[in-house]
Structure 1
């Protein structure tokens, strides 16, 4: 009995119990019997109760970590034990444990969360902001004033708006040093964001590419604005047929994906950087019969198939260059008029060889170098029928005197170390 009394005496527990009584009363009633005011009041109380329960949970998590409760069962750390015991996502459990540890150092924020005045998202923004403040501040009261200011603003701002404000909190609480410090911190953040930008994408084998990326704020805002322009109702209404479904007022993820596809198709190839001597554009192989057929198909330079209908649509908007490959009178053969293979020749190699011609290498053609089988120094010509694509590694190897080269009937090449 004494143990229960001690637990219920904890201020967080008392606040939770008080809110629990109100929400329990609402839950036990028939909702249709409640007035509008009662429903809205119960909803706000439930929201505050959630914040109070989460505050208690994080306080207990910090205490459990201090006691290393996971060590008793051989867990890596307390967060891993917590995640396993409660079937939480492990990364999420670790993030919550970091917040618990931070709240343990920031008493005012922890108290506001325990009262239900702010949410855990607000608390995360505030604690991360205070933890990022420089260690060499001359006035030791600045972190305390910054935390107090952010707690005041959190009462009226959502977490996203509070995070924007937190970026220049020093300018507000210590303007004599804050403006310069905040500017330096912002420049550092921008450099880090650009240096750590990344993108991954790969075909899923079901007719789509899937990927994800991380880019700096400015470029992200630029991309979003461009996509919103393509996804805007007026643009959609102007480009869609009248019998198609009504355009949504708020662009959905599917609408934004459609806008992204349209953006890529509209990129001007002549303005893009050169890649392998050519503009960075996709090459589609098709014949005239397949272009007219409803059942024919086209093929990308990478070997991936396209339907005839999609190829016809692309042909309406793309400039087509007729080319005959393999003829000795074609313009791909420049003789000795040039040392380097020109764009048309490189395009022909991409279409016919597809990948690096070294045996077993699948380096894509558009990233390969064009190599002369008849070397220029020995009087060879820059001719298409004597050219091959090699990835940078194998192109270096074919010029390495330590290796002997063998060209096979199927045009693949192998290398052997000379003895």
Structure 2
């Protein structure tokens, strides 16, 4: 029946498409219900060895589901948990909904995961109410669509938080003590940064990164057509991350080093500058990590206040130390912005209004 419906889908009426949607949804939910029941019987049926999975030459039920059904490990573990729920009925309303095929496995997994995290802190009456409410929202009604797993997760967390605000305060204090940031240089010179932030600070950072990673055009090309930004979302977020740090380095509120704002020193031997001028590959060195980078890359970022260049002779003696602060007046900056729509430094294409002179 479904094959015929798929074949006719492009030409059928909206009513027929609703019928196909309902049939496909019912089929998918029943299939997921059978998988949960399968995990239950695998995990809890009698066996010759310590489990049915071992009778069938697998190390565990999850391992069997990975190989025979094609689940990823996390998905296999989640189905094993659903199987245990069907066996022990800790959340009876949800267990019945899974068996009836009225909630999806992903909805059920989210509900179980959130309930398991909190169940020891709440009484049976509240958990029973949450069980009924979560299933009702997951199933939907004639007047409302079924909730997505993400909506269920956020709402369940909200229920628990509102029922026990003191626990939220305690968790916030714990998060504050656990905050951390680590950074290290990889073999190829790239830098890995791993940060763990509190819920509030993390949300603020994500808001900033999201704002700078949204799909949009970047600059206007000379012919009037917008230049298409070809960066991936992850690349945009990385660029925004760097921009936030370079902006913070210029702030009067940031910590200082040697009485000055944190400034990256880039050393460029005069011989390398000559190579770059002649169009051949040339190298500079960044002070913090001692990594070599192309002089062209230095030319691109040198217009930033957070970077200072030191030109040396072949013996390493400093011949010229660039300014760590740009000295153009506001009026001069406006005039330069008119004369140079983008950065005048060779290889740098950022808008001149972003420049610091």
TM-score tier by shorter-chain length is 0.5 to 0.7
1:72 to 31, 38, 55: 55
> For 1:88, what is the secondary structure of its paired residue?
coil
Counterpart of 1:94?
77
Change (3 A) 1:127 1:88: closer
> For 2:302, what is the secondary structure of its paired residue?
helix
Change (3 A) 1:241 1:307: farther
Change (3 A) 1:219 1:238: farther
CA distance in 1, matches of 2:167, 2:316: 62
1:152 to 126, 136, 141: 136
Counterpart of 1:369?
none
CA distance in 2, matches of 1:111, 1:231: 43
Per the TM alignment, residue 231 of structure 1 is displaced from its structure 2 partner at its CA by 4.1
Instruction: Pick which of 81-90 and 193-202 moved more.
Output: 193-202
Aligned residues between the structures = 296
Counterpart of 2:330?
none
- 8 Å contact kept, 2:185–2:192: yes
2:35 to 57, 65, 77: 57
Per the TM alignment, residue 223 of structure 1 is displaced from its structure 2 partner at its CA by 1.1
- 8 Å contact kept, 1:112–1:118: yes
Per the TM alignment, residue 135 of structure 1 is displaced from its structure 2 partner at its CA by 4.0
CA distance in 1, matches of 2:194, 2:204: 17
Whether 1:310 aligns to 2:297 is yes
CA distance in 2, matches of 1:50, 1:193: 39
Whether 1:85 aligns to 2:85 is no
Whether 1:113 aligns to 2:103 is no
CA distance in 1, matches of 2:10, 2:216: 42
Counterpart of 2:283?
297
CA distance in 2, matches of 1:94, 1:275: 50
> For 2:135, what is the secondary structure of its paired residue?
helix
- 8 Å contact kept, 1:227–1:256: yes
Counterpart of 1:333?
none
- 8 Å contact kept, 1:198–1:213: yes
Per the TM alignment, residue 64 of structure 1 is displaced from its structure 2 partner at its CA by 0.9
- 8 Å contact kept, 2:283–2:295: yes
1:256 to 228, 231, 237: 237
Whether 1:183 aligns to 2:165 is yes
Per the TM alignment, residue 147 of structure 1 is displaced from its structure 2 partner at its CA by 0.9
Change (3 A) 1:268 1:111: same
Change (3 A) 1:252 1:34: same
Change (3 A) 1:31 1:152: closer
CA distance in 1, matches of 2:33, 2:40: 11
Change (3 A) 1:135 1:268: closer
CA distance in 2, matches of 1:320, 1:255: 24
CA distance in 1, matches of 2:177, 2:268: 41
CA distance in 2, matches of 1:24, 1:127: 34
Counterpart of 1:46?
24
> For 1:34, what is the secondary structure of its paired residue?
coil
Alpha-carbon displacement from aligned partner over 1:274-299 (angstroms, at most 9, x marks no partner): 67998655332113453462432211
CA distance in 1, matches of 2:259, 2:43: 59
TM-score after normalising by structure 1: 0.58
Per the TM alignment, residue 225 of structure 1 is displaced from its structure 2 partner at its CA by 1.9
Per the TM alignment, residue 197 of structure 1 is displaced from its structure 2 partner at its CA by 5.0
Change (3 A) 1:109 1:40: same
**For structure 2, which runs of at least 5 residues remain unmatched after alignment?**
46-50, 318-357
Counterpart of 2:2?
23
Counterpart of 1:267?
248
Report the structure number with the largest CA radius of gyration.
Answer: 1
Task: For 1:100-249, list aligned pairs within 5 A.
Answer: 100-104=83-87, 105=89, 106-135=91-120, 140-154=124-138, 155=140, 156=145, 157-170=147-160, 179=162, 181-195=163-177, 208-209=190-191, 214-231=196-213, 236-237=218-219, 245-247=227-229
